[in-house]
Amino acid sequence: MKTVAAVIVLLVAYPLAMSAVDNLFYVSFASRVLIYAIAATSLNLALGYGGMISFGHAAFVGTGAYVASILFAEGVTSAWLEWPAAIAVSALAAAAIGAVSLRTRGVYFIMITLAFAQMMFYLVTSMKAYGGDEGLSLPGRAELGLGLDAGNEVTFYYVVLGLLLALLYALHRLARARFGRVVTAIRENEVRAEAIGFPVYRTKLACFVIAGAAGGLAGALLASHGKYVNPNVLHWIQSGTLMIMVIIGGVGHLWGGLIGAAALLTLEHLIAEYPVDWLARLAPNYQQHAGLGVGLVLLLIVLFAPQGIAGLFTRRARAP
């Protein structure tokens, strides 16, 4: 509990410290981290809590991003309309994709979610009216109203932080409520969960839809943050990135998404911005291939900390 309070204080104080030294770039960078934390946390609900290894989560993030951007381009600029619309449409997409995909198991589920996400990728690539494969630039961020200026990096950061903390608290409650107990029971032993009378398919679908809806919110925020969206937000590499964040952070751990997003994006940033001389002599272009470093970290995590970074901080009380 103390750790949680300390983390929240740090997150709240961070932009104040950065504005004090007049470094707004790192406020904006942190907003991006928090948005990815929302996306990774939403995937963690399906993947970590529900045991549904979805390799197509970018479909929902991307849907949210495109819904918000298209609305903006069409003149609907209020965040109060854009973001709920993004959540709703992503939830619908998750309901449709989940209804089909959840009839399969194991590697077939992984493949079918990937296939759906790729179909959506090609769909937006062909939407010429909204930029096609060039993407869509927006003149500004979604308007917050209430006298708040979304263009202000510090304000935007706090909005994103508020949404992330709300999501984490909701997930914390959900995991301890009846629904969450059933979701983890299904992950642990689906056959038995069905045999004691839980509606397994419906429960998994509901969990998948909630995850998709929260992913849609992340997408809308991402589009607002960058004032730009392109089809890559739906690409399978994006789904893979979110998965890597969850694995690095901690599968099925409340803070896994945030830790994973922060670790991965910071690592990528460090590799790109701070050259290491002896590495550059060894492999001159290594900074263009941040994936190499990320791969190494992923390898170490999987080998030595299969519970992710979050798992290192929790006591191993559970039986195998």
Partner 1 sequence: MLELRSVCKHFGGVAATDGVSLALPAGEAHALIGPNGAGKTTLLAQICGSLTPDSGDIFFEGRKITRDPQHRRVAAGLARSYQITSIFRRANVLDNLALAVQARSGTSFRFWRPVSAEKRLFEEARALAAEIGLGARLEVAAAALSHGEQRALEVGLALATRPKLLLLDEPMAGMGPEDSQRMVELIARLRGGLTLLLVEHDMDAVFRLADRISVLVNGRLIATDAPQRIKENAEVRKAYLGEEAIA
| Residues lying near partner 1 in the complex (CB under 8 A) | 170, 173-174, 176-182, 185, 188-189, 191-192, 194-200, 203, 206, 318-320
CB closer to partner 1, 81 vs 206: 206
- Note whether 255 and 3 are within 8 A (CB): no
CB of 174 to partner 1, least distance (A): 5
CB of 47 to partner 1, least distance (A): 17
Q: What angle do CA 115, 218, 213 make, to 5 degrees?
A: 65
CB of 193 to partner 1, least distance (A): 8
CB closer to partner 1, 187 vs 225: 187
205 HSE (CA, 13 A, CB side): 17
User: Is residue 78 helix, strand or coil?
Assistant: strand
Distances 207 to 31, 118, 174 between C-alpha atoms, Å: 26, 22, 10
CB of 199 to partner 1, least distance (A): 5
CB closer to partner 1, 105 vs 181: 181
As a whole number of angstroms, the distance between CA 38 and CA 283 comes to: 35
Instruction: State both tokens at 155.
Output: 């304000």
CB closer to partner 1, 194 vs 268: 194
CB of 203 to partner 1, least distance (A): 7
CB closer to partner 1, 75 vs 320: 320
- One DSSP character per residue, 87-153 reads HHHHHHHHHHHHHHHTTS-HHHHHHHHHHHHHHHHHHHHT-GGGTGGG-EE-SSPPB--TT--TTSH
User: Is residue 254 helix, strand or coil?
Assistant: coil
CB closer to partner 1, 24 vs 185: 185
User: Is residue 229 helix, strand or coil?
Assistant: strand
CB of 301 to partner 1, least distance (A): 21
